[in-house]
Structure 1
Amino acid sequence: MNTPKDDLYTAPLDSEWQKSSFSNGAGSDCVQLMDIAGGVAIGDSKRPDRPELRYTPSEFAAFVQGVKAGEFDHLLSD
């Protein structure tokens, strides 16, 4: 039985990747996102050989809300 999460991993990557304007110019901070059917894909442009991660809209929204609330600030280096 397929779940919405299973369906995410069969959705084609047929849009353009979007990279944050905060990625540095040297290309070492290249997290990229793509809107896909049923959610969001997250990839690393430095390592296109690695599979992207895929999240449902509610999973991605929970993460973004946590970032905005500062819940992950302790993970940033000084």
Structure 2
Amino acid sequence: MTTAAPPADREPVWHTSSYSNGAGGECVECAISSTRTRVRDTKKVDGPVVTVAGSAWAAFLQALKSG
């Protein structure tokens, strides 16, 4: 896992959680590519970004779905 910024030549496309309601909740947004997923705080778009391998993100999502 890293907290590095994305390459300057390619801006990520960020997607806000469907649970985000704009009322100041604790929400994140993700930018998914073929090899990695970036995650950041919706309220701090200029803040740190956590980057994980695509396979790790897929395993994380599967674990959430499984309970």
Largest Rg, 1 or 2: 1
Q: Identify unmatched segments of 5+ residues in structure 1.
A: 71-78
* 1:7-65 Cα shifts (integer Å, max 9, x gaps): x9464361321011111231323300002462110000212342110010111011001
Cα distance in 1, alignment partners of residues 56 and 23 from structure 2 = 30
Q: What's the C-alpha RMSD, in Å, of the aligned pairs?
A: 2.5
How many pairs were matched up? 65
Q: Cα–Cα, structure 1 residues 44 and 17, in superposed 2: closer, same or farther, change >3 Å?
A: same
Cα distance in 2, alignment partners of residues 10 and 43 from structure 1 = 11
- The alignment-based identity, stated in percent, is 34
Deviation above 6 Å: which 4+ runs of structure 1?
Answer: none
Query: Comparing both structures, which one devotes a greater share of its residues to helix?
Result: 1
TM-score (norm 2): 0.73
